Amino acid sequence: MSEERNLRLVQPEEGANIDALLVRVARGDSRAFDALYDAVAASVYGLARRVVRDPTRAEDVTQEVLLEVWRKAARFDRDRGNAKSWILTIAHRRAVDAVRRSESQKRQDHHGAPDEVSHDSPADAVLEADEHGTVRDCMDTLTDLQLESVRLAYFNGYTYSEVATLLEKPLPTIKTRMRDGLIRLRDCLEGAQ
Amino acid sequence: MNTDLHTLSGAYAIDALSREEAERFKTHLDACPSCAQEVRELQAAAARMGAIEGTAPPAYLKARVMQAADREPQLPPTVRHPGGVRSSTRPAWFPRLMVAAAVALLVAAAGIGYSQLRGENAPESQLASGVVRVFDAPDAHEATIPTANGGTVTVATSPSLNRMAVDTEGLPDLDEGQVYQLWEITDDAIASAGLLSDPDAGAAMPMPAEGAEVAISVEPAGGSEQPTTEPIMTVTASEV
């Protein structure tokens, strides 16, 4: 197993832990930033890889995201959500921007399965599998068109107009399916907690 | 709430709108707290979907990021003033801009000060020079932003040059007696960054100060000490 494939630990208190680290990062604590990197880098890089595909560009996106988190840590508003969502929202936007900046770049036709991952220890693997299983189960509750719309936009970085063209559906349909799909995902994830 | 706009919350939450649509929707969010809440919830759901893709980056990336952070100043927190008391020197649109900036967490990245251009008498020749150099820099980032008067402005930033440039060729022609004026807006003040007497020439300037927004407004010929009209566009370095 290559070390680069190792997934970071995902622990039950992970969310709270990241929130607490971000508070310290906001005060300029570089050790907290070091720990925050360990806690989120795999999620950020994994998402960036999935969207931009190219490993080198995914590294650049990861760096941009972590630096934005460092810069804006003091502006993060805990009343508006958890730190990990905030960081992954930044990661997604940056990854999509990177894809759209190079319009000439040939998009790959197939977006295959994510890289196989390995785990640091069986206990971590179980916890992580729990979360992944929950998310995948919830994704399965979406209709085919909802899921396809959300996936093409989120993981391939397409705009909803591009998704509508690809799926040969009217724009308002895709717009609605995207929102309905995300609402269903949200409700399912909330119910599963 | 506009039904059609409202259905865009899903696409907005997963960055599936064009830049222009996203800008418009962001403006809508500032005025619609329930929409903003929905967007946050959908973003959180999407984030959990994104997190299952986790793959550890190469080990060397961590050192690179730590070193870069070590050189990177942090933004101060946004201080909320209860009761909405505002400085009387600010134009009416100013607080709304600040709310927009806070909501969208889009306040500018760090840079050196703006001191060269601060004050109302920045020489135009200085503004017009070096535009191409910024756009052509190897690390240049560009963004094209629609303006409220139906034009576009393309903004470029170059961290290595520590400069920002605007290509204003896409701005509509003004009537005689009017001029485009460039502003730097910080939490404390609005300072003129100069006049765009020849929009085709664009403008280049030092990277805006930390937390600053750059705005363009239409002013009477000769320029104004403070903006007299609502800006046709605003941008921060981090948006580029």
In this structure, what are the phi and psi dihedrals at residue B68, rounded to the nearest 5 degrees?
Answer: -65, -40
**Cβ separation A4–B14 shorter than 8 A:** no
What is the model's pLDDT at position B67?
A: 96
User: Distance between CA A82 and CA A21 in Å, rounded?
Assistant: 12
Query: What's the pLDDT tens digit per position in B27-68?
Result: 999 889 999 999 999 999 999 999 998 999 999 999 999 999
User: Distance between CA A12 and CA B232 in Å, rounded?
Assistant: 47
**Cβ separation B14–A114 shorter than 8 A:** no
**Cβ separation A5–B76 shorter than 8 A:** no
What is the model's pLDDT at position A113?
A: 41
User: In the 3-class helix/strand/coil scheme, how is A132-169 assigned residue by residue?
Assistant: HHHHHHHHHCCCHHHHHHHHHHHHHCCCHHHHHHHHCC
Residue scoring higher pLDDT (A8 or A14) = A14
Chain B residue nearest residue A43, CA to CA: B54
Is the model's pLDDT at A35 over the cut of 60?
yes
Of B40, B50, B109, the CB nearest to A80: B40
Residue scoring higher pLDDT (B137 or A44) = A44
Query: What's the pLDDT tens digit per position in A66-122?
Result: 999 999 999 998 888 899 999 999 999 999 999 988 654 454 444 444 443 444 455
Query: What's the pLDDT tens digit per position in A123-149?
Result: 556 667 788 999 999 999 999 999 999
Is the model's pLDDT at A16 over the cut of 50?
yes
What is the model's pLDDT at position A110?
A: 43
**Cβ separation B56–A41 shorter than 8 A:** yes
Angle between helices A144-156 and A30-52 (to 10 degrees): 120
**Cβ separation A117–B54 shorter than 8 A:** yes
- Look up the pTM and report it: 0.60
**Cβ separation A63–B56 shorter than 8 A:** no
User: Distance between CA B43 and CA B131 in Å, rounded?
Assistant: 37
Chain B residues touching A92 at Cβ < 8 A: 14-15, 46-47, 50
Ranges of chain B with pLDDT below 70: 1-3, 80-129, 188
Query: What single-letter DSSP state applies at residue B137?
Result: S
Across chain A, mean pLDDT equals 85
User: Distance between CA B80 and CA B147 in Å, rounded?
Assistant: 29
Sheet holding B213-220, edge to edge: B190-196, B178-185, B213-220, B233-235
**Cβ separation A68–B238 shorter than 8 A:** yes
**pLDDT band for position A36 (cuts 50, 70, 90):** very high
Chain A residues touching B51 at Cβ < 8 A: 43, 46-47, 84, 88, 131, 135
Residue recorded with tokens 């070193």: B67
Of A72, A91, A139, the CB nearest to B49: A139
Q: How many CA atoms lie within 13 A of B165 on its CB side?
A: 24
User: Distance between CA B214 and CA B164 in Å, rounded?
Assistant: 10
Minimal C-alpha gap between A127 and chain B (Å): 12
Residue scoring higher pLDDT (A15 or A180) = A180
Chain B residues touching A46 at Cβ < 8 A: 51, 53-55
B212, two tokens: 């600053």
Beta carbons within 8 Å of A98's beta carbon, 6+ residues apart: A48, A51, A52, A57, A60, A61
**Cβ separation B77–A74 shorter than 8 A:** yes
Of A41, A81, A183, the CB nearest to B57: A41
What is the model's pLDDT at position A102?
A: 66
Average of per-residue pLDDT across A165-176: 96
User: Distance between CA A22 and CA A158 in Å, rounded?
Assistant: 31
User: Distance between CA B96 and CA A84 in Å, rounded?
Assistant: 28
How high is the ipTM of this complex?
0.84
What is the model's pLDDT at position B163?
A: 82
What is the model's pLDDT at position A24?
A: 96
